[in-house]
Amino acid sequence: MKHDRRQEILTAAMELFAKKGFRGTTTRDLATHAEVNEAIIFRHFNTKEELYSAILECKAGENREALVEEIERLATGTDDAKFFETLFTKFLERHEHDTNFLRLLLFSALEGHQLSEMFVSTLDARNPIASYIRRRINEGAFRQVNPELATRALFGMFFSFVLTQEVLGFKKIHSHDREEVVRTFVSIFLSGITKE
């Protein structure tokens, strides 16, 4: 029961932070939204920062083991399209089903709060996409580019798509087939990075 209550508070906090921002959300608002006494929140989390940190840990850990295992398996091969398409299909699926997390991160960054820095610091120092690109450069398959910047360019296409579709509401005007989006973006990326 205690774990369920903690999870309920985390879920409610993520919804409120995504709607009102970190600064715009009070623990009183949170208690009302989670349908608990305010004291219950402080029994589980000493500060709002601790609560936010718990949200990051929770979201970062979701399906992480299975995803990391799949990425590592695909990263040993040379099917570039399959590697990137699998990865970014999962990326789109995750953000289609949970736009609150992206909104939460955007609010944190826009508020200039240290919370966005907390998120960046939780990212793995070892970037599996950059590592893959680096290996394929060394094998002569990809052009000589900065792997970290190439990774950011690829993520940029997908992040921009999620932002416009899910956060800005473009999907109400024009929805897109996920597979077509993934194939198109990966194809554009590979056309620019693959040696002729």
Average confidence (pLDDT) per 10 residues, the chain, 196 residues: 76 82 82 87 85 74 68 86 93 80 74 64 66 94 95 92 85 89 97 90
* Contact predicate 75/83, CB 8 Å: yes
Q: What is the pLDDT of residue 125?
A: 47
State how many domains the chain has: 2
Q: Looking up tokens 């774990």, which residue turns up?
A: 3
Is 93 found in the same domain as 49?
no
Closest to 67 measured CA to CA, from 158, 10, 153, 128: 128
Is 179 found in the same domain as 82?
yes
Query: Rounded distance, CA 26 to CA 32, Å?
Result: 10
Query: Rounded distance, CA 65 to CA 63, Å?
Result: 6
Q: Which tokens hold the place of 158?
A: 């997908």
Q: What are phi and psi of 189, to 5 degrees?
A: -60, -50
Specify the CATH number for the domain of residue 36.
Answer: 1.10.10.60
Q: Which residues contact 160 (CB under 8 A, 6 or more apart)?
A: none
Q: What is the pLDDT of residue 100?
A: 74
Specify the CATH number for the domain of residue 118.
Answer: 1.10.357
Length of the chain: 196
Q: Looking up tokens 């897109």, which residue turns up?
A: 176
Q: What is the pLDDT of residue 122?
A: 53
Q: What is the pLDDT of residue 117?
A: 67
Is 48 found in the same domain as 72?
no
- Domain span at residue 18 reads 2-55
Q: What is the pLDDT of residue 27?
A: 85
Q: Which tokens hold the place of 44?
A: 């589980």
Is 45 found in the same domain as 119?
no
What pTM did the predictor assign? 0.73
Tell me the HSE value of 88 on the side-chain side, using a 13 A CA sphere: 29
